[in-house]
Chains A and B, each alone.
Chain A
Amino acid sequence: MTSNRAVVDIGEVDVRFLRRLASELGASDLSRCFQCGVCVASCPVREIEVEFNPRRIMKMAKLGLKERVLRSEFIWLCSMCFLCQERCPQDVRPPEVMTVLRNMAAAEGIAPPALQKLVDILSRAGRIYPLDDFTEDEREDRELPEVEPEPEFVKRIAEAGR
């Protein structure tokens, strides 16, 4: 797996990626990361998938290794539990960094199809789980009120730029 190669080739450093990352990060600041590993020690995903290493992702991003970071399948595996964010002594906010990296990867067309599908569903139906006739009937049986079946604003926002 490319993300586990130990040797860093300085030629891989992408300065434009670093500039964009810095402007997108907002409150989180990768330069503060001193690689203590509290994020790894706190991570519930890491407990199961030992290859998942948020500290390494922070380091690779900080070094500007654009291709390695954005093409790593691991940026999609953070479960957003925010335990590392609570514990990080440097307020790096790893989950927020993950979101910025995911957005950058998606803009380059390298997002998991399953996530892309969610956006497609929203642009078509306005809901992740469409309220079909069967569901509407069940709601009626349970005396639950009618809800907007296909919120138009959700469709219009989801379909933007496509």
Chain B
Amino acid sequence: MRYAVFLGCTIPARQMNYEQSARAVADALGIELVDAEFGCCGFPVEPLDEVKALSMAAMNLKKASEAGLDVVALCSACTEMMTKAKDLLARDAGTLRKVNKLLSKQLGTEYGGEAPEVIHFARLLYEKVGTDRIRELVKHPLDGLRVATHYGCHYMRPSKLYSEFDDPESPRSLDELVEATGAESVDYPGKKDCCGGGILAVGEKVAKEMTRRKLETLSQAGVDALVLICPFCGIMYDRYQKLIAGELEKSFDVPVLYYPQLLGLALGLDPDSLGFDVNSVRVDGLLEKAGV
């Protein structure tokens, strides 16, 4: 399996633990990740100018296509933005004209409908590697670990955009991926709730309250970790956890792991290769419980 890896803006600068662990896990599973000349997916400019956003997404699709590669993205917002651009520009001639007018003027090029496959890393593990194969490769089952999953919003919604590969109301793929490591996936109220990261820039108070509510629930549920698959969610639940706890003069003590970090442990990879030192909330207790 060979894919161009799409990192986006946040991961290579601020969440290197996700990148490091994803590369290590891909290597162990025989997935070749190729680095291409990608740039911003367009998501951050969508609220102000959707045509600009789609133009950025279209350029990335074009670059992957020129390299003859399909795209695997680590960030859920990048996945959604590029999937949407591919879908919309194939069926909406008016929007395609606007995008191509902008691309011609600014870059002297056009989007010609290049449509490589775009898939989220977790979905790739679920659909193309499969939980049966993962179970076979697990060397160090994480028995006894109680883990909560957070799917985030853009991983499987809008479900129509993603050919309904997972249930938008009761998704299963990430839970099954967690269970394949030997850990237990614990259900909890508010599992579908958004992290709030999308409105951090315009409504910080509301965003932080959205984050706090889930952390409160998880803290009370006494889970060993929250496992997620998007850098926005990671920043909210991990980086902001200390800040929110500090403001409330309390602590949540919920370690936050990217799924490839959890999987890496189960595959018996060296914990030093999984970027745990980047995690804001301490993971020592978790690693000890996992027996590494």
Contacts and interface: CB of A to CB of B under 8 A. Distances in A.
A103 interface: yes
Nearest to A155: B39
A126 B10 contact: no
Nearest to B157: A82
Given A79-B198, A142-B275, A156 B107 contact: yes
Interface string A106-145: 1000011011101100100011111100010011001011
Contacts of B192: 83
Nearest to B277: A142
Interface of A: 26, 44-45, 48-49, 76-83, 85-86, 93, 99-100, 102-103, 106, 111-112, 114-116, 118-119, 122, 126-131, 135, 138-139, 142, 144-148, 151, 153-154, 156-160
Given A85-B157, A128-B10, A158-B52, A119 B196 contact: no
B283 interface: no
Interface in B64-111: 88, 92, 95, 102-103, 105-107
B187 interface: no
Contacts of A154: 39-40, 56, 59
B285 interface: no
B169 interface: yes
B44 A118 contact: yes
A126 B39 CA distance: 7
B35 A76 contact: no
B13 A79 contact: no
Contacts of B105: 160
Given A82-B153, A83-B194, 15 more contacts: A26-B95, A82-B157, A82-B168, A83-B153, A85-B158, A103-B49, A112-B202, A114-B202, A115-B201, A115-B202, A129-B13, A144-B12, A145-B35, A147-B35, A157-B52
Task: Say what secondary structure dominates the interface of chain A.
Answer: loop
B248 interface: no
Nearest to B209: A48
Contacts of B198: 79-81
B201 A160 contact: no
B286 interface: no
A122 B44 contact: yes
A131 B13 contact: yes
Contacts of A122: 40, 44-45
Nearest to B152: A81
Contact of B47 (A76, A139, A153, A156): A76
Contact of B196 (A79, A111, A128, A158): A79
Contact of B153 (A80, A103, A146): A80
B241 interface: no
A127 B207 CA distance: 23
A38 to B, nearest CB: 13
A79 B199 contact: yes
A151 B203 contact: no
B153 A128 contact: no
